[in-house]
Structure 1
Amino acid sequence: MTLSLPSPPPARTRPLRPPADPARWPDVARLPRASALRTALARRIVEQALGRLPLRIRRESPAVPGQFTASDGRPTLVLHDPDAFHRRIGADGLIGFGESYMAGEWDADDLVAVLTVFATHVDELVPAPLRRLRGAWTRRRPVQDLNTLHGARKNIHRHYDLSNDLFAQFLDPTLSYSSAVFDALPAAHEDLVQAQHRKIDRLLDLARVGPGTRLLEIGTGWGELAVRAAARGARVRTVTLSEEQRTLAVERIARAGQSERVTVELRDYREVDGQYDAVVSVEMIEAVGAEYWPAYFGALRDRLAPGGRVALQAITMPHARMLATARTHTWISKYVFPGGLIPSREALAEQSAAAGLRIAADTGYGDHYAETLRLWRERFLSRTQDVHELGFDHAFRRMWELYLAYSEAGFRARYLDVRQLLLTEGDV
């Protein structure tokens, strides 16, 4: 008699991630050169740093995912390829950390939670005696990323001209690509349109935009603020460097019946003339670059008519971190926002004063940006197939997911903030 043993259950597997296109993502598709000593040093520093953080670390094959969730509630970082992970960090620091995620060499059970731990403990990741070696893992920002008149157009094109259809996958119907202001937190997806209108209306109120106001908007986006300002009776001139944004903004303004009140120009803020009763600029300064902040604030001042008001919305970071970041080529500056830098509140005050403006009001909404980013990220992840069909490959989708999660974590950790500011020449 032949005894037949039952077959073992098939292993629970998932397909290996597709390799990154070496033509599109050369530094993701291949591992960087790094000496054995440098890689070993990086491994030691990283493992010691991770050991001090409230995280769990798992090492496993990407083909057999296992269980991510930690029973004690700590978020879990899952290393599929620890050797590649440490080699990339040894060669390129935090740029390597991001490229390792794009390559699928690590994952997390809760990506935002893992990144929030890093953001909360950013000053503790490297022991103080080793911080002198920071230069070995960081690079200077490329000169070609400077926001000269030509460079600014190129940098804006690399981000904002990716595809209007891409941005429509995760933004709400207003196509507002900046922090909303919610009535209450946590927020639901259906709250986002009203929250974006609330944000816009608060800025227009700060600038006292109403019937007959001559308004200059620096940074058009997709036209929602211009539409709402025109609906108040303002005459709006709005400028952008994004051809894709301008094309769609013109269409949306026409559909709203406001073409006679709004002019959309493909123009640098440094090339704008005239004077205006109000100037509004929403999360534009982050793309200007520190070298050009004097030109930006000078333009705000020069375009302002006597008694006029400037309303800004700006992301901020602590001053010491801003100074360190300004000298460093980061994963964000390499892949997401070339040439940009998030200012500190101190930098905003200094640059405003140097231009002859004063900060007359300043309100923060950091928790609201974290919620905005959460809603964007959830919507983006739910549209993976749609994004794929637009022609964006797996490495891009990993990059964009990390960008949204990384940004959300910065606000969750209060490492980042977002503020609405009123600038005036004198008394309000």
Structure 2
Amino acid sequence: MRARIARLIVDRMLDQFPVRAVYPDGTVRGRGGPVLEIVRPTAMFERLARSPKVGLGEAYQAGDWRAGDGTDLAELLTPFAARVAQLVPRPLLTFRRLVEQRLPSRQRNTPAGARSNIRAHYDLSNALFGAFLDPGMTYSSALFDHSDEDLEAAQHRKVERILDQAEVGAGTRLLEIGIGWGTLAIAAARRGARVTGITLSTEQLQLARKRVAEAGMTDRVDLRLQDYRAVTGSYDAVVSVEMIEAVGEEYWPEYFRTIDRLLAPGGSVALQAILMEHDRMLATRTSYGWIQKYIFPGGLIPSRTAIDETLATHTTLVVEDDFRFGADYAETLRRWRRNFTANWQAVRAEGFDETFRRTWEFYLAYCEAGFASGYLDVAQLRLTQLSGSENIDSTTRSLPGAAAR
């Protein structure tokens, strides 16, 4: 019964969408376009009925549906991403609370929870990430100069731009929160900076230290297995690339307070952050989605509004530059997915099965569709401390209007 009801809802939705859904019996729904081949309708609709935010991805993992011959998976998902706010008919929104799962408490980003969440993704296998990332092992959006540019060159441009944004140069005491596999730390050290980098991933740390040593930068780079909340000292610049998404809304104030505390007077902060519109963030922040269940436990993408409000209420920091390049992330993800597919045999040799392959195909295509549709964006944000900030107490920061500064 639940599957039949779900099918009625989905068929009605498909009739308004520029896709072509094909059932096993030859029934076709949709207005034409990329082909959605439904392999096991009952199983698929049962998953959707049980958990709308998780069921579509789980159905793909299980092989209940696939992109039709000649249809790219991200191209198929993009129309849905572009209309995500209209996917559920308005009269049914009142029942959403009955089927949506709440975020599990075990995924809270306490110091212990954050270690568990980070390791669940980043400690899977360095060889896995090496199979689809560029040779520099940069796992964040590249910045392309032209559409056919080499991925490694585009990643290098991204790294250099954010280091410029943070004014990193000779003698800079730099803190990097979330080191990846060491590419940015090495680039900063080559500029003459002294780098402290932290991560919660043992796999990342091991390879990053090896790469730093091979680059001859061990005297300038100190990489640690450490939570951002435990860092002490004073730094002229703080850089964090796509780390805030793993912090969790509950801990955004502590994350930014920590950066504020560690930043030396006159210093600057550069963050690369995935962003979504504020109304969508508010609508989804407490519900459990497929990405959180299978890819990034404990994760939440912020809005620019949420960042501004957190800074104004809890810190002396303010955003003074906002550079957006969301279309470049769609292209980055397209390249990663292409590499993942081409190198699947090497990934499988690491012990990953066909369900994992479909999981990561869906993850990469799902994210690509989000950026291609404009549902998601990515920005490099430059933050500085307000002048005279030592005279601004927490009460002043909490006044109504503080967020507008």
TM-score exceeds 0.5:
yes
Deviations 1:279-303 (A, max 9, x none): 0000000000000000100111001
- Confirm or deny that 1:78 pairs with 2:41: no
Structure 1 residue corresponding to 2:52, chosen from 93, 98, 104: 93
Report if the CA contact (8 A) 1:207-1:279 is conserved: yes
Q: How many Å separate the matches in 2 of 1:128 and 1:96?
A: 20
CA contact (8 A) 1:187 1:371 kept: no
Aligned partner (choices 166, 174, 190) of residue 207 of structure 1? 166
Q: CA deviation at 1:136?
A: 2.4
What's the offset of the Cα at 1:426? Answer: 2.7
Corresponding residue number in structure 2 for 1:43: 7
**CA distance, structure 1, for counterparts of residue 369 and residue 384 of structure 2:** 33
Q: Is this contact kept in 1: 2:197–2:224, CA < 8 A?
A: yes
Identity %: 54
Alignment of 1:327-342 (within 5 A): 327-342=286-301
| SS of corresponding position for 1:45 | helix
Equivalent residue, structure 2, for 1:395 = 355
> Partner residue of 2:216?
257
Contact 1:102 1:398 in 2 (8 A): yes
Give the Cα separation in 2 of the matches to 1:130 and 1:96. 17
Return the alpha-carbon distance in structure 2 between the equivalents of residues 426 and 88 of structure 1: 50
In structure 1, C-alpha distance between the alignment counterparts of 2:252 and 2:196, rounded to whole Å? 22
Per the alignment, residue 126 of structure 2 pairs with: 164
Task: Give the one of 120, 128, 137 matched to 1:175.
Answer: 137
Match of 1:311 in 2: 270
Match of residue 187, structure 1, among 143, 148, 159: 148
Q: Contact 1:176–1:221 (CA<8 Å) still a contact in 2?
A: yes
CA distance in 2 between counterparts of 1:73 and 1:201 reads: 43
TM-score by length of 2: 0.92
Do residues 151 (structure 1) and 113 (structure 2) align?
A: yes
1:107-156 deviations in Å (ceiling 9; x for gaps): 01221111101001111111111111111221001000000000000000
Distance 2:308 2:148 in 1: 32
Tell me which of 87, 97, 101 is aligned to 1:135.
97
Cα distance per residue 1:243-294 (max 9 Å; x no partner): 0000000000000000000000000000000110000000000000000000
What TM-score, normalized by structure 1, do the two folds share? 0.87
Q: 2:19–2:32: 8 Å Cα contact kept in structure 1? A: no
Trace 1:251-400 onto structure 2 (pairs within 5 A): 251-354=210-313, 355-400=315-360
Contact 1:362 1:419 in 2 (8 A): yes
Q: State yes or no: 1:107 paired with 2:66.
A: yes
Q: Which amino acid in 1 is paired with 2:90?
A: A
For structure 1, the residue ranges without an aligned partner over 5 or more in a row are: 1-35
Secondary structure at 1:52's aligned position in 2? coil
Q: Which runs of 5+ in 2 are unaligned?
A: 388-405
Distance, in Å, in 2 between the alignment partners of 1:296 and 1:143 is: 19
- Which amino acid in structure 2 is aligned with residue 338 of structure 1? P
What CA distance in whole angstroms lies between the structure 1 residues aligned with 2:346 and 2:367? 23
Separation in 1, partners of 2:203, 2:280: 33
- Residue 56 of structure 1 is matched in structure 2 by 20
1:418 aligns with one of 358, 378, 381: 378
